[in-house]
Amino acid sequence: MQENDMGTWDVGPFDNDTAADFGGTLDEATADTRAGIIRDTLIRVIDTVGYLEAPESEEAVAAAALVAAQRPGGEPTDPVYGPEEPLPDLTGLHDLALQALDRVMNAPSELMDLWDESDGGPWRANVRGLRNVLMPRPPGEQLSLI
């Protein structure tokens, strides 16, 4: 995918200018404020009434990816555009991350509209993958370590 007018070069959570800048913001923040920045980013999207702008959505997807990276089955975040500084334990934010992804994926959402104008299937699949990692596991289900 070539970079388009969204400032996006691929379908990953940090593959756009806004999310890359968000990673930089986290790196510049003090260690004890990083979790709060991520939480506030998720809540801002969840609480948006009406049309959700793309930049807020891009930051929320990146924030959700950071939470998902700390969950069983989560993938590491982008080593180039994601934050380089260590992040605190974000596992308590998985419910907020799920809610934020659901809000991004449901109209009225500028990011969804923009992806609908291009080949958004791979991007949607990526967001669904994040959702799957963030979903709570049923009580009896344990991950096998063998």
The total number of structural domains that make up the chain = 1
28 within domain boundaries: yes
- Give residue for tokens 């930089």: 24
Query: Per-residue pLDDT tens for 54-91?
Result: 999 999 999 999 999 999 999 998 888 999 999 999 99
- Give residue for tokens 């990816």: 65
What CA–CA distance (Å, rounded) separates 59 from 65? 10
Query: Residue 89 CB: number of other CB atoms within 10 A?
Result: 8
How would residue 118 be classed by pLDDT, with cut points 50, 70 and 90? Answer: confident
30 within domain boundaries: yes
- What domain range includes position 88? 17-134
Nearest to 104 by CA among 15, 36, 42, 16: 42
pLDDT > 70? residue 128: yes
129 within domain boundaries: yes
